[in-house]
Structure 1
Amino acid sequence: MPALQNPTLSNIHVYPIKSCHSVQLNESQVGNLGLVNDRRFMFIEEANGRFITQRKYASMALVRPLIDLTNKTLILTSYDDDQADLELPLYPDTTTMEQRTVKLWKDTLTAFDMGDEAGKWLETFLVNHRAHDVANNHNPDDPDPQEGHYSRPAHQQLNGVHSPFSDWSPVSFGFQASMDAVNQALIERGAINQDNTIGLDRFRNNISITGTLPWEEDTWLVVKIGEVTFYMIRPIGRCTVPGVDQDHGVKDKWGGPLAYLKETRSFVEKPNDGCFCVDVVPLTSGVIRVGDKVEVLERIPEGKEQKPLAK
């Protein structure tokens, strides 16, 4: 199935802290853990070691991490109040850090504690935004939409399994043509209007692609972008987070796109999921840049591709 034009990498985003705001890039190095500096940090509940996200605290979208590559620092900033910024090492010396056992969905992981100062900064932020989060509360016990996890066996000389703090795969693709199709359908249903369409950033994908037909990604298997070849695993089962405005940390009063996606984008493997964007893994390493051509190296054989279930 040919595309309308040449598919092109239109945007690159990394999320240094899981479930906080993104950093937009013009280029990025990609390795076995995905895009460099993507989801390398995560907030947890002190009492139980469980990760926390916008599912529980919509205000986390207002934490704006800044990356200073010159000084190799990660700077925590609060978008909408006067809380002082906090500077942390981007690549901390883990040999001097306390290890913690943390929970990410069904996984039990070993992570490194960034220290009391970082914990107090987050505690202050959440206290300052308590009223905001009460008004935009999400279910803290949302089920794992993937009912599983991505894992990558470590090199034989390394101990354990190594992965970023992503929900499943280390990289995700989003497609603008499919986003446009969703918005048009939501407009036709009266859920939204032309003035409040939703953007791909709601789905927190790393790589955005333009120049395809809507849902053409359902037929892709292996693609090359810049210097990197990616294997496309499957559509991503979504949770409630795409119902949060990522610029203001506000939950949609109309309920968000999840109900529509469950109706129109469920598949045999995950019949109760609403899917959007695609989980991918890098097969090679290298650099990708905005404007790179997206080459489809292999497609799913005709007749073998998954199709959404009829509702």
Structure 2
Amino acid sequence: MLRLSALYRYPLKSCKADSLQQASFDELGMTGDRRWMLVDESSGRFLTQRALPHMSQLSVLWHADDGVTLSAPGHEPVQIAVPLNVEDNLRGVTVWRDTLRVPDAGDEAARWVSAFIGKPTRMVHVPKDRARFMPSGYGTADDRVGFADGFPLLLIGQSSLDDLSQKIGRPQEMLRFRPNLVVEGAPAFAEDGWKRIRIGDLEFRLLKACSRCILTTIDPATGQRSEDREPLSTLKTYREREGEVWFGQNMVSDGPGVIEVGMPIEVLE
């Protein structure tokens, strides 16, 4: 039987994951997932572990009002509230090819994240009415995404990771791939052929495979890069096509709704 084996939320883009037993979903996907982001102060360009691996050591506790508490080794925790005067605090930011104006979290947040990152940095929040459109050709006109790279949600089959670990010769951490949902009970890479699934009362549309990058070579526990460039090196030997390496499925939820770890999963299409 297919079942949901894990749920993960990433309140701040490219920082530590929260492991959940239950998750709710709204117009932007999993509630509280990647609604916050760090950007370079001068350019507004988004910051990630790709260039700053130590972002993997930044813990983010999400609160029900969408505020967060940041903590990291060597830094006192700080609580950051959702900006209230949105129009007075807008900052231009860039996520890949998308540019948008979103509220800045303020100077206290900026001082804290600048000290952690090591250069002038701002922290921004995305309200639902300022979210981005999906990549052209995917989803519907109503689908939106916050600060995730391109799609609100990522699903990975546990058997797919087990297959990869076996080929590499040592266990690989699921969090290297930063999924929101993990499925067990299906053959390796069965998710490649799914188009729609149902978990509880909530349906999800699987839109495209996820292209993987150097971020997967960063150990989520230590922030250190793999010297042998695993798991990317092995993935390239059997999951590469058209110059991209694929692992996991990007998807959207047809919410609102709530799901829990352990729920059965039905493949609808």
Q: Same fold (TM over 0.5)?
A: yes
Looking at structure 1, the residues matched to 99 and 141 of structure 2 have their Cα atoms a distance apart, in angstroms, of 15
Give the match for residue 150 of structure 2.
Answer: 168
Q: Which residue of 1 aligns with 2:44?
A: 49
Runs of 4+ residues deviating >3 angstroms: 94-97, 147-154
Shift of 1:93: 1.9
Given candidates 68, 77, 85, the residue that maps to 2:77 is 85
Higher strand fraction: Structure 1 or Structure 2?
A: 2
Question: Given the superposition, is the C-alpha separation of residues 249 and 225 from structure 1 closer, same or farther in structure 2, using an over 3 Å criterion?
Answer: same
TM-score when scaled to structure 2? 0.88
Shift of 1:152: 6.5
Contact 2:4 2:183 in 1 (8 A): yes
Q: Percent of pairs identical after alignment?
A: 30
Assess if the C-alpha contact under 8 Å between 1:28 and 1:289 holds in 2.
yes
1:280 alignment counterpart: 251
Match of 1:127 in 2: 118
SS in 1 for 2:39: coil
Tell me by how many angstroms 1:211 deviates. 0.9
Shift of 1:226: 1.7
**Match of residue 105, structure 1, among 91, 96, 104:** 96
Change (3 A) 1:149 1:26: farther
Offset at residue 149 of structure 1 (A): 9.6
Matched, 1:225 2:199: yes
Cα offset, 1:259, TM superposition: 2.4
Cα root mean square deviation, aligned: 2.2
CA distance in 1, matches of 2:144, 2:265: 28
State the partner residue of 2:128.
Answer: none
2:80 counterpart letter in structure 1: L
Partner secondary structure for residue 251 of structure 2: strand
Structure 1 residue ranges without an equivalent (≥5)? 1-5, 129-146, 155-160, 188-192, 299-311
Give the structure 1 partner of residue 4 of structure 2. Answer: 9
Q: 1:150 to 1:84 in 2, by over 3 A?
A: farther
Q: TM-score, normalised by structure 1?
A: 0.77
User: How far apart are the structure 2 equivalents of 1:163 and 1:215?
Assistant: 25
Q: Secondary structure at the match of 1:251?
A: coil
Deviation readout 1:212-241 (Å, 9 max, x if unpaired): 111111221110012210111121000111
Q: 1:94 deviation in Å? A: 4.3
How big is the shift at 1:162?
4.7
Say how many residue pairs are matched: 255
What secondary structure is seen at the aligned counterpart in 2 of 1:50? coil
Q: Secondary structure at the match of 1:85?
A: strand
Contact 2:83 2:104 in 1 (8 A): no
- Kept in 2, the 8 Å contact 1:107–1:149? The answer is no
Does residue 1:27 correspond to 2:18, yes or no? Answer: no
CA contact (8 A) 1:175 1:209 kept: yes
Query: Larger radius of gyration, structure 1 or 2?
Result: 1
Question: In the aligned structure 1, how far is the partner of 2:223 from the partner of 2:118?
Answer: 15
Q: Give 2:180's aligned residue.
A: 206
For 1:76 and 1:211, how far apart are their aligned partners in 2? 36
User: Separation in 2 of the partners of 1:67 and 1:23?
Assistant: 9
Alignment of 1:179 with 2:161, yes or no, is yes
Secondary structure of the residue aligned to 2:230 is coil
Residue 64 in structure 1 maps to residue 38 in structure 2: no
* Aligned partners of 1:169 and 1:280 also within 8 Å: yes
The answer to whether structure 1 residue 76 and structure 2 residue 76 are counterparts is no
**Cα distance between partner residues in 1 of 2:220 and 2:85:** 31
Distance verdict in 2 for CA 1:240–1:295, change over 3 Å: same
